[in-house]
Amino acid sequence: MIAIFVASVLFVSVVAETVTYYRGLVSDRNSQLASLKEQVTEENSQISNLTAEVSNLTSEITNLTSANLAPTLNVTEEPNNSDLVQMFPSIATSIPYDSLWINGSVTNTGHVAAYNAGLHVVGYAADGTLEVNMTVPFVTNAVYGTDAATDALILDHPRLGAGNDIGAVHFGQIGPLQLGSLAVGQTANVFLTIYHEGVVANWAVTPVWINTP
């Protein structure tokens, strides 16, 4: 009985020591795991900060190697050329198309010259129909059409024939489409008219360019 008792005491003691050992081991591993998690969190934070720095540097490099065309433009939709009609009542019934009038200026505020520079013009009717979608250079006193019919108006109009100037706009000749360049700090003046089918209710006029020739 004594031997059994002693054996039982020794067994319990061994089990208790074993449990204590493994509890300490688990506690130590948990502490190591918590420390590793803190390190991972800190390293993720450092990675995030470095990523933000790289992004900022990339943005700064892009700014230093890019043009930036800042427009100051007025855009109006002229129904049946109402301004022209007021100036020249005799043409009131002879211009069947509306037109977008764009005037103002565009300045290169970037750090390099802008090449293939112009204005991308889109215009939509109230029902979403695309009426205008073209890119034109920075020009003054120019007229454009959007299809064969509006081109014919510009070229062959009986009252606005070749060589006529009305409202400082040249009729009888379609404006150029060759895009140009704009040096750093240079400003280009814009005054142009785009004839189109339908009625344009919404439009967007956006400068476009590339940074290399």
Question: What CATH number is associated with residue 173?
Answer: 2.60.40
pLDDT beyond 80 at 125: yes
Which residues touch 185 (CB under 8 Å, ≥6 apart)? Answer: 107, 108, 109
Give me the domain span that covers residue 145: 69-210
**Share above pLDDT 70 across residues of the chain, in percent, rounded to a whole number:** 73
Last residue of a domain, one of 64, 86, 110: 64
Owner of token pair 């918590």: 34
Average pLDDT over residues 146-159: 80
Same domain, 128 and 147: yes
pLDDT at 192: 93
Which three-class secondary structure string do you get for 5-37?
HHHHHHHHHHHHHHHHHHHHHHHHHHHHHHHHH
Per the structure, the count of domains in the chain is 2
Same domain, 76 and 147: yes
pLDDT beyond 70 at 157: no
The Cα–Cα gap between 87 and 168 comes to 12
Average pLDDT over residues 80-107: 73
Same domain, 113 and 16: no
Same domain, 140 and 115: yes
pLDDT beyond 90 at 183: yes
Same domain, 84 and 181: yes
> pTM to 2 decimals?
0.68
